[in-house]
Chain A
Amino acid sequence: MSEKIINEEKTTYETFTQEEYMVMKGDLLRPVQHIGKWGKIWIGFLIAVCLAGVYAYYIQETKSKYVTVSLRDYTMWGVYISNFVFFVALSLIGVLMSAVLKLTHFEWYRPLSRIAEVIAVAAIMLAGVSIVAAMGRPDRLHYLLLHGRIQSPIVWDIIVILTYVTTSIILLFIPMIPSMSTCKNHLTGKPKWQMKMYDILSFGWEGTPAQWKSLKKSVKILTVLVIPLGVSIHTVTAWLFATTLRSEWDSTNFGAYFVSGAFLLGVAGMIVAISVIRKTYKLENYLTPMHFDKLGRALVMMSFIYIYFNINEYLVPAYKMSGLHANHLINLFVGEEALFYWSVVLFGMVIPATLPLIPAVRKPLPLTIIAFGVVIAAWFKRYLIVIPGLAHPYLPIQDVPASWKHYTPSLIEMTIVAATFAAMLLIVTIFSRFFPIISVWEVAEGKLEGKDEIINYK
């Protein structure tokens, strides 16, 4: 039985046209082989923003937080926490765009999976950074290990996030082993340490049938594992809010609501990512209009699911308008935050649910614009979930200074948030400059296995 499989795999690789394979290899290694002037400027820019963030954090920690940060007793969680939720949501991109598509045999996942996984790893790391930035005493971070208590949802979150990070990194690196070997054998003019790195990371890969077999098996196990983990990280993140008695978060719907939002963000993030990557790295042959078409359809579906959960989350309590919810909901619907709230509904849900129904909109450019709007709206959506409700506690806020009543993030806070975005883009950029961002072997394999879907696509 096992011999039969090995033989089959062998034939798969032998029947692959050598010429075609070499062209593809050349294309996919190009971003690693050569970094242009603009590429360097882009990296420099991202590093500059990151350093600005580090400096802002230094100021925040050395000076009084009352001055550097706009947080006060009532709005005690601000953009750091909403940014954290955003990044946790974004990290589910790996689950949806790589694992789910892979397991459900959608062959078009192949060029997307590595992009999705590296974004997932970068996002979840920056989620951690956001949380540390929010802490009053980051010097006591290790207390979580020394004195951690299992009844706290924060500890659940740390446990699932650490597991997810580990699994995602392994899931990113195992399918990269053959690519490392490719890099080692085909890249030229690279520094010695870089070649040494490829050598180490290829773990003695020779491409023997036994190696292929164990590689595929491990990838499959990890792919299955990463789905419940991804769902748990975002569900537990939702529970950070839902386990409190605050009326705006007191919802049994919260876990599913967060996960569905994360999947919508995942599709939108993927559209933006492939749109940038195919242009900058000239990979239009691999990230094709077909992908945009498929992702456009996925965007519609995910938007409708998210709208469904939003109706549950907002309209059902709004129908009752109980005293507990009224302040917060009225503030969102017709009050101070109304413009903000309805813009998020429009750009984050209504447009992505309707416009891509038109085939012409599922072309790269229009779809990218819509998806970019969804990503921005998704960030503000987390802001609206976390922050405005805090200004409407059960007992009225009275006799406090003006800054205690309304929260507007400070310059320091926004710089740090901007730096987390820059750091995420930097991780993805640096990764794509050292490793092929599209998996050579996965695409090669797909060209044979998924011929109908990729080649005969109309």
Chain B
Amino acid sequence: MKEEKEESNRRNFLKLGLLAGTATIAGFGLKNKIFAGDIEETGEKVKVLTTDGRVVEVDSSMVAHPSEAKLAQFNVREGIPGKKFIMVIDLARCANARKCVEGCQSMHGMLPPIEYIKVKKMQDSDLGAPYWFPQTCYQCDNPPCTKVCPVDATFKRSDGIVGIDSDRCIGCKFCMAACPYSARTFNFGRPEQKEFSEKHNADKDKCCATKSSTEGTVSKCDFCPESSAKGILPSCVSECPNGTIFFGDELEDAVTNGEETFRLSELLKKRAGYRQFEELGTKPRVYYLPPVERNFPFEEATEVHNQVE
């Protein structure tokens, strides 16, 4: 009796072990499938660094872009896991070339006079020197806009971005009243804009989680999170001929303008980075480097850009 029971216990154990083994193999297969997917071998070899420090050559199809994988399950409201986007604008480099404005407009399918990024002439005091001031949405860490939204259409994400769900927005414009930086813009359905949006329907919102062409809703700069997830810099950063705008990840402690990369903490320390209207307590995610030792002398803008109604 007793022996028989032991025998059966052993048999069960073996069964369990076999099952576990099968599951592991199956899991492995599944895992491979997830990473490799249906991608066929490209024949192109790439060098990768293994965890133990060896450089090996593998087929490029074997290398999955983790950020793209993350993007596949990327929830607009939650944000990209493991990221904390941040921007640094070097006022010493801005010459009001307005390429950031134009790049942004073409990226988001907007026509002037709507600008998600504006370049303003600032002069802090009568004797103070004027300077150009590119201004985006500051993606504040204590955002006054998301607090007041009655329907949770604008929200703070884990990656630092303040997003807008244009399918949710009821167009009360309370967030616009709440934003002390006037960063938000409302889609009043300007006829030229409507026509343009319809025509370019296919390539609209090619970079962004939030749709900018929904009439009767609020939209704004959103740091182009889907481009960022793919490792592509926002248009305003890459289009700037002077490398004024730096974009990066606070967790990586690095920002880049596409050509130069800086350690964020050192850059802010060395160049005395500051945030606009710190006293409002909004905790912006956009830092400015003061316009000292400028690359360009300040020149008055000779033309006005947005005169057309």
Q: Chain B, interface size: which category?
A: 35 or more
A358-401 interface with B by 8 A CB criterion: 390, 393-401
Q: Is the CB of B177 within 8 A of A143?
A: no
Q: Does A135 contact B (CB under 8 A)?
A: yes
Q: Report the bound CA distance from A141 to B307 in whole Å.
A: 35
Q: Please, which residues of chain B bring their CB within 8 A of the CB of A396?
A: 120-122
Q: Report the bound CA distance from A77 to B177 in whole Å.
A: 8
Q: Can you sample 16 A-B contacts with CB below 8 Å?
A: A64-B190, A66-B191, A137-B169, A140-B151, A147-B168, A149-B149, A149-B152, A152-B149, A244-B177, A390-B177, A394-B277, A396-B120, A399-B306, A400-B113, A402-B309, A403-B309
Known: A244-B144, A245-B180. Contact between A154 and B113, CB under 8 A? no
Q: Smallest CB–CB gap between A42 and chain B, Å?
A: 35
A146-179 interface with B by 8 A CB criterion: 146-149, 151-155, 158
Q: Please, which residues of chain A bring their CB within 8 A of the CB of B174?
A: 152-154, 240
Provide the B75-107 mask, 1 if CB < 8 A to any CB of A, else 0. Answer: 000000000000000000000000000000000
Q: Chain A, interface size: which category?
A: 35 or more
Q: Please, which residues of chain A bring their CB within 8 A of the CB of B120?
A: 395-396, 398-399
Q: Does B139 contact A (CB under 8 A)?
A: no
B93-152 interface with A by 8 A CB criterion: 113-114, 118, 120-122, 135, 144, 147-152
Q: Report the bound CA distance from A276 to B45 in whole Å.
A: 91
Q: Which of A64, A148, A245, A393 counts the most B-chain CB atoms under 10 A from its CB?
A: A245
Contacting residue for A137 out of B135, B181, B185, B217, CB 8 A: B217
Q: Is the CB of B216 within 8 A of A65?
A: yes
Q: Please, which residues of chain A bring their CB within 8 A of the CB of B177?
A: 76-77, 241, 244, 246, 390
Q: Please, which residues of chain B bring their CB within 8 A of the CB of A393?
A: 180-182
Q: Is the CB of B170 within 8 A of A137?
A: yes
Q: Does A144 contact B (CB under 8 A)?
A: yes
Q: Is the interface of A mostly helix, strand, loop or mixed?
A: loop
Q: Is the CB of B180 within 8 A of A69?
A: no
Contacting residue for B150 out of A66, A67, A155, A399, CB 8 A: A155
Q: Please, which residues of chain B bring their CB within 8 A of the CB of A137?
A: 169-171, 216-217
Q: A67-B191, A136-B187, A154-B150 are in contact. List 13 more A-B contacts (CB 8 A).
A: A64-B188, A65-B189, A73-B114, A136-B173, A140-B169, A146-B151, A244-B178, A245-B180, A390-B177, A396-B120, A396-B122, A399-B113, A399-B118
Q: Is the interface of B mostly helix, strand, loop or mixed?
A: loop
Q: Report the bound CA distance from A399 to B133 in whole Å.
A: 13
Q: Is the CB of B189 within 8 A of A143?
A: no
Contacting residue for A141 out of B122, B152, B170, B217, CB 8 A: B170
Q: Please, which residues of chain A bring their CB within 8 A of the CB of B191?
A: 64, 66-67
Q: Report the bound CA distance from A450 to B169 in whole Å.
A: 55
Q: Does A304 contact B (CB under 8 A)?
A: no
A: residues with CB less than 8 A from B are: 64-67, 69, 71-74, 76-77, 134-137, 140-141, 143-144, 146-149, 151-155, 158, 240-241, 243-246, 390, 393-404
Least CB separation from B122: chain A residue:
A396
Known: A76-B173, A134-B172, A240-B174. Contact between A398 and B309, CB under 8 A? no
Q: Please, which residues of chain B bring their CB within 8 A of the CB of A76?
A: 173, 176-177, 186
Q: Does B202 contact A (CB under 8 A)?
A: no
Q: Is the CB of B176 within 8 A of A398?
A: no
9 shortest A-B CB distances, which residue pairs?
A136-B171, A136-B216, A154-B150, A66-B188, A152-B150, A66-B190, A64-B189, A147-B151, A245-B180
Q: Report the bound CA distance from A240 to B188 in whole Å.
A: 22
B183-216 interface with A by 8 A CB criterion: 184-191, 193-194, 215-216
